[in-house]
A = this chain, B = another copy of it.
Amino acid sequence: MMRSIPSVENEIHLMSELQTLPLKAGGTPESLRTRHAMDRTDQSLIAIRRILRSTELYGRKLAKAAGLTAVQIRVLQIVAETGQATPKDIAKRMGVSQATMSSLIDRLSAKKMVERHQSQRDRRQTNVVITQIGRQAVLEAPDALQQKYVKQFESLEDWEQAMIVASLERVAAMLDAEGIDASPVLDIGDLSGRPHS
């Protein structure tokens, strides 16, 4: 596997693109809000998209390098968190259907990273259990955010870290707002490894 990294390298220099948009924004008769507010909205959207995009591309790259896809790593992490979980729970947390989860588990189990154990209590349920191999894979899985971001973040001034956290949380809250359940995956982090007590 391991194919090489796709065309990630072709880069377009976004900077230039970014600059273009302001003008368009200006097109609207500035009726409702100040020109200022508009620009800021655009700026924030652009920044969010940059975040999404770079995470996506970088993630593809890392996942490939790890021999597991991002989605697979995610499943492994969720399972690793508690040691075992039912397909339904995992599906719910990830926001995918049970059918999808079933095939994901198939693939992971073909790789010997998880095993299915029928539950004793209720034989309809399956417990997905992570294997040693799977646990190892989770530990070694490169983490896009971490690698790219953590060091830089930690080198920031204290006040700036605080500001960023507050802003990101605000944005996340605005996006969640609609009721999409957001969280599931989030806490994952905890499990893995944080010493978490």
Stretch at the interface among A44-52, A105-113, A117-125, A126-134: A44-52
Q: Chain A interface secondary structure, helix, strand, loop or mixed?
A: helix
- The residue in A15, A150, A153 that gathers the most chain B C-beta atoms within 10 A of its C-beta is A15
Whether A182 pairs with B50 at a CB distance below 8 angstroms is yes
Copies in the complex: 2
Assess whether B95 is in contact with A186, with CB atoms less than 8 Å apart: no
Which residues of A in the span 150-197 have a Cβ within 8 Å of any Cβ on B? Answer: 150, 152-154, 156, 158, 160-172, 174-197
**Residue from B19, B61, B189 in contact with A23 in the complex, judged by beta carbons closer than 8 Å:** B189
Interface residues on A, range: 35 or more
A13 in complex: contacting residue of B54, B70, B178, CB < 8 Å:
B70
Report 13 cross-chain contacts, Cβ distance below 8 Å, ordered by A residue.
A14-B186, A16-B63, A17-B142, A21-B186, A22-B193, A25-B150, A25-B194, A37-B161, A44-B168, A48-B55, A56-B95, A149-B175, A168-B168
